[in-house]
Structure 1
Amino acid sequence: MLPNPTTRPAEPPSRLPQPLVFDACNAGVVLRAVLFVQGVIAVAAMFGTGTPAEWLSRMALLTGASLPGTLIWLIAACSLKHRLQRMHTRGQYLGGVALGMLAGLYACATLHWVGLADAPWLASAVTGGVLAAALVTALVLRARGSTPAQTQARLAELQSRIRPHFLFNTLNSAIALVRAEPAKAETLLEDLSDLFRYALAEPHSTATLAQEIELAQRYLAIEQVRFGDRLQMQWQLDPDAHGALLPPLLLQPLVENAIRHGVEPGLRGGKLQIRTQRRGEQAVVHIINTLPADGAAQDTASPSGHRIALANVKARLSLLHDLHGSFSARVQGGFFIVRIAVPLPDSDSRQPSAALRHAHTDR
């Protein structure tokens, strides 16, 4: 039987800290900011040049001044993020623009040091401020763009969690067990209660991999009662990976789709394997399910089937981890394999629950 965790999934906090208007502490942001500034510099260097050689020479000169200034702006904005967070929204905007003007003055000073006689101090400060304003605007739009995406994802997951047939099947299973195995029926209803409590709780921005695993275990404990021997599960859990942060309610929809498209349609059921592993500074999650061999259901990878949940998961991972996270899904040898890789926190103070530390392999 699938191990039933005795601890309940941690309740999400009811109040979230005030988010930053913009956050420059991200490798993807750094890369995009550098490419954006260099693109502007490349276009600006075209003015007043007649040959490619002159353009390259001016481009090299401007890059030598602008690149350090851009990196200084990014480092300063990242280092001061907590102070900026204490400011009002307008103050955060003005702080980003002011840092951009200082970075522009630094770039102009670099040009002056290399021998440029008539250094454009005012123009450099204004240019730095304008570029910083553009970067801040892009970061703000990216942050705001995550809100509707997360809301839409949450609504889809809530619908998945409270689909009538799943609720009715679970209640019917519990009714069937009340007389024969009352303790098992009680456990089944507790698992169902925990799933709904977590799904309907106050929205929160992140959850640990340990919490997501516990939630998936509770969902699969319910499905195990319904499918019996038709559902064969295998867990390979590495507690060292369970401090990684994920968007909340991320694994359960993937597990549910594996059941719906890989186990339920087949006359003989199917197998489901969930693996977690720490690899260096990353936590890697694999969700592997067999595909129906009798063709009773549509292909798991079809656009109307599994792909809706996959696109949802990929978008939410990108919003949270950007270039640091990765997601892939493929069909291989009769199996559908989902792979998720996310970075581990620098100081992993979270310890996985006792239920996860002692979770054993189920076949």
Structure 2
Amino acid sequence: MKPNAAPLNFKDSTLQGGLMPADAGSVSPLVPRASMFDACHVGVVLRVVLFVQIVVAVGAMFGTAEPLDWLLQFSLLTGGALPATLVWLIAICAFKRGLSRLAASLQWLVGTLLGAVAGLYGCGLLALMGLLQPAQWWASAAGGALLSALVLQGLFWRAKARTPAATAARLAELQSRIRPHFLFNTLNSAIALVRAEPRKAEAVLEDLAELFRSALADPAESVTLGQEIALAQRYLAIEQIRFGDRLRVQWRLDASADTARLPPLLLQPLVENAVRHGVEPSASGAELKISTLRRGSTVVIKVTNSAPAGAGQPGHGLALANVRERLFLLHDVQAQFKTAFKDGLFQVRLEIPL
């Protein structure tokens, strides 16, 4: 598609004032291929390390009466617990594909055994440096196994939260992505173009087929930003036929950001929301701007639309909550999702790792 470019007066920076998280209403998350061994996220690593350090800090209180003694004991135990924790996390992350194929009971067994081995590794480090005499091998192995079992339980709950019932999730996705009136409007537009502009009618039907193909395809955990942009362009090409000059679109795309990963069908709902709340209610239409920008290891995505005069803040429904939930499930603390509404402009801003 060749997007219809129109000059806009949007500032390239985030709208000033009132950046806030999207409404956390009912959501319909994607059906991802989640795993209890999916520990390769910064947020997961930080939480696991913090949990282990808290346990170590509490354990160091036993047998110490003075704060200084506790600090020395905590520092000593940290010298073994922290490397052991990182080794366990690296092993879980490196072998997650193979571990995920095992039966549930074997997953727990292997994960716990790896924890015991990590505990022995931490004890060995302290013994090698002469800081733990005599070496507490059995206690270290038991402690590592117990902590790993607790962490695995947390990861199991996290994975369970990411895998809702497939039927309900797919139905909610189809209801929110391909609405019947959009289908009918598109088909009517194509029918109207068949005789006058058959090539344009063919292009509309091809774009519609691609949208349905993406919505009905087997759910994947992530796609590239470039793929999401191509899908959004097809959607806007269809809506351009329907709204004509009322829909004024400007694209500012950074090609170096196209490899960033997003959950499937994430950008299109944001663009659809902008059309619904900006173009449809306004007799004069609206201006829509989609921009991507790479900043080091971070990609910033903005979808901005003008709103009709007197309109309240748009975007409190299912679509924004759906996008926010699925984005955080994929990228956790590395992602940001904010909205802003000021001076008749509504903007959704996403930040994701590259």
TM-score range relative to shorter protein: 0.7 to 0.9
Aligned-residue offset at 1:312: 1.4
Counterpart for residue 180 of structure 1: 196
Rounded to whole Å, the distance in 2 between the matches of 1:170 and 1:311 is 26
Rounded to whole Å, the distance in 2 between the matches of 1:161 and 1:276 is 22
Alignment of 1:36-185 (within 5 A): 36-85=51-100, 87-112=102-127, 113-148=129-164, 154-185=170-201
Counterpart for residue 348 of structure 2: 338
Q: Secondary structure at the match of 2:213?
A: helix
Residue 34, structure 1, aligned to residue 44, structure 2: no
Aligned-residue offset at 1:269: 0.9
Residue 283, structure 1, aligned to residue 299, structure 2: yes
Cα 1:152–1:55 shift into 2, 3 Å: farther
Does the aligned pair in 1 maintain the 2:193–2:200 contact within 8 Å?
yes
Counterpart for residue 201 of structure 1: 217
Residue 300, structure 1, aligned to residue 300, structure 2: no
Match for 1:173: what amino acid?
A: S
1:214 to 216, 230, 234: 230
Rounded to whole Å, the distance in 2 between the matches of 1:86 and 1:164 is 39
1:311 to 321, 324, 349: 321
Listed as ranges, the gaps of 5+ residues in structure 2 are 5-30
Rounded to whole Å, the distance in 2 between the matches of 1:326 and 1:155 is 27
Aligned-residue offset at 1:246: 0.9
Task: Provide, for residues 146-166 of structure 1, a one-character-per-residue CA deviation record: whole Å limited to 9, x for no partner.
Answer: 112987665433113332222
Rounded to whole Å, the distance in 2 between the matches of 1:159 and 1:62 is 53
Of 276-285 and 65-74, more deviation after overlay is shown by 276-285
Rounded to whole Å, the distance in 1 between the matches of 2:338 and 2:109 is 40
Counterpart for residue 15 of structure 2: none
1:274 to 287, 290, 293: 290
Rounded to whole Å, the distance in 1 between the matches of 2:121 and 2:179 is 59
Of 49-58 and 243-252, more deviation after overlay is shown by 49-58
Rounded to whole Å, the distance in 1 between the matches of 2:337 and 2:114 is 35
Does the aligned pair in 1 maintain the 2:176–2:319 contact within 8 Å?
no
Listed as ranges, the gaps of 5+ residues in structure 1 are 5-15, 345-363
How many matched pairs?
327
Does the aligned pair in 1 maintain the 2:36–2:158 contact within 8 Å?
no
Q: Secondary structure at the match of 1:179?
A: coil
Counterpart for residue 252 of structure 1: 268
Does the aligned pair in 2 maintain the 1:2–1:224 contact within 8 Å?
no
Counterpart for residue 327 of structure 1: 337
Identical positions, percent: 59
Provide the TM-score with structure 1 as the length reference. 0.81
Rounded to whole Å, the distance in 1 between the matches of 2:255 and 2:135 is 58
RMSD between aligned residues: 2.6
Of 136-145 and 104-113, more deviation after overlay is shown by 104-113
Match for 1:242: what amino acid?
A: D
Aligned-residue offset at 1:71: 1.4
With CA pairs under 8 Å and 6+ residues apart, which has the higher RCO, 1 or 2? Answer: 2
Cα 1:26–1:284 shift into 2, 3 Å: same
Does the aligned pair in 1 maintain the 2:250–2:288 contact within 8 Å?
yes
Does the aligned pair in 1 maintain the 2:299–2:353 contact within 8 Å?
yes
Aligned-residue offset at 1:217: 0.9
